[in-house]
Amino acid sequence: MQSGTIFLVGAGPGSPDLLTLRAARLISRARLIVHDGLVDPQILALARPDARLVSVAKSRARHTMKQDDINALLVAEARKGEDVVRLKGGDPFVFGRGGEEMEAALAAGVRVEVVPGISAANGAAAAAQIPLTHRDHASIVSFVAGQCKGLSEQDWSGLAGVGRTLVIYMGVSTAPQIAEKLMADGLAPDMPVAVIENAARPEMRVLRGPLAALPQLVEREKVKSPALIVIGEVTAELVMQGAQLEVGVESTC
Ligand code: SAH
């Protein structure tokens, strides 16, 4: 029997209207959807009533299924001849372990197709009106994981600073170490920072402050995952108001 295909599908940051048309089509036709915890219930609601939905929810403190077991599940289902939609928050290839699942599929001789999604950085930037690049303020943008093992050994030097935007995924619980690390690398304590919680969802919050106060901001506002930390001049509201004023739009505040 011919194996099915594993589709590694990006579900975007939340709202169903930020799915690609290809993702929406695959979700609505799938008989089997294997999804992680970041996928919004509104998106799962697009599935057929008779679709089998398998959650392999992952959160920092609670790994309900090990990555090897997820890989094995995807391959086993595909080998039964079943197409598998593996649905992930954001984009499968941005901190989504899509690479590992693709490798497992290819090693097993199973066809795999990758459908990109709007990554949290792009969704958050749009929803919070924070451009990741801007000809006047940032010509480099980097994405890093704030919670990988050995955070202190990771070399982030040169990724943040004047003219650069640094987007930190999974950084809420390590915000104090992140601020300390960046300032030890020479970043100014007053470098503007934004924390975007639940980006592109109705309950989104955008919190701003200087880098030195990032730990207090996260603690005081009880920021919860999922949230991104964005560091750089582009996050300063004043910068953007200034840009608007330049083109003659009156500021309202
Ligand atoms: N593949 C995903 C990232 C998965 S890692 C993507 O491309 O977006 C999980 C991290 O993504 C979270 O800890 C958080 O930092 C970020 N994230 C995902 N969805 C988010 C959202 N709606 N708002 C803010 N951050 C989000």
**Top-level class of domain 120-252:** alpha beta
Q: For residue 120, which atom of ligand 1 is closest to its CA?
A: 8
pLDDT of residue 63: 57
Residue nearest to atom 11 of ligand 1 (CA): 169
- The stretch 74-95 carries a mean pLDDT of 97
- The stretch 5-28 carries a mean pLDDT of 97
Q: Is the pLDDT of residue 24 over 50?
A: yes
Q: Band the pLDDT of 65: cuts 50, 70, 90.
A: confident
167-177: pLDDT as tens digits: 999 999 999 99
Query: Can you read off the two tokens belonging to residue 181?
Result: 């690390």
pLDDT of residue 16: 94
30-64: pLDDT as tens digits: 999 999 987 899 999 999 999 999 999 865 555 57
pLDDT of residue 75: 97
146 lines ligand 1 (CB under 6 A): no
169 lines ligand 1 (CB under 6 A): yes
DSSP string, the chain: -----EEEEE-BTS-GGGS-HHHHHHHHH-SEEEE-TTS-HHHHTTS-TT-EEEE--B-SS-BSS-HHHHHHHHHHHHHTT--EEEEESB-TTSSS-HHHHHHHHHHTT--EEEE----HHHHHHHHHT--S-BTTTEEEEEEEETTSTTGGGS--TTTSBTEEEEEEES-STTHHHHHHHHHHTT--TT-EEEEEESTTSTT-EEEEEEGGGHHHHHHHTT--SSEEEEESGGG-HHHHHHHHHHTTPPP--
For the domain bounded by 5-115, which CATH number is listed? 3.40.1010.10
Q: Is the pLDDT of residue 239 over 90?
A: no
94 lines ligand 1 (CB under 6 A): yes
124 lines ligand 1 (CB under 6 A): yes
109-168: pLDDT as tens digits: 999 999 999 999 999 999 999 999 999 999 999 999 998 667 888 899 999 999 999 999
14 lines ligand 1 (CB under 6 A): yes
- List residues with catalytic annotation: 36, 58
Q: Is the pLDDT of residue 245 over 70?
A: no
Rounded to the nearest angstrom, the distance between the alpha carbon of 47 and the centre of ligand 1 is 22
pLDDT of residue 80: 96
Q: What is the pTM of this model?
A: 0.91
DSSP bridge partners of 7: 85, 113
pLDDT of residue 250: 39
Q: Which residue has the higher pLDDT, 59 or 103?
A: 103
Rounded to the nearest angstrom, the distance between the alpha carbon of 89 and the centre of ligand 1 is 7
Rounded to the nearest angstrom, the distance between the alpha carbon of 253 and the centre of ligand 1 is 31
198 lines ligand 1 (CB under 6 A): yes
Percent of the chain at pLDDT above 70?
Answer: 91
Rounded to the nearest angstrom, the distance between the alpha carbon of 108 and the centre of ligand 1 is 29
Residue nearest to atom 24 of ligand 1 (CA): 227
pLDDT of residue 9: 98
Residue nearest to atom 2 of ligand 1 (CA): 90
Peptide bond into 226 cis (omega under 30): yes
Q: What is the mean pLDDT of the chain?
A: 91
Query: Can you read off the two tokens belonging to residue 101?
Result: 């699942």
Q: For tokens 């919680």, what's the residue?
A: 197
Q: 153 phi and psi, to 5 degrees?
A: -85, -15
Q: What is Dmax (Cα atoms) for the chain?
A: 66
In the chain, where the domains are located: 5-115, 120-252
Q: Is the pLDDT of residue 101 over 60?
A: yes
Q: Ligand 1 pocket: which of 115, 225, 228 to mutate (most atoms <8 Å of CB)?
A: 228
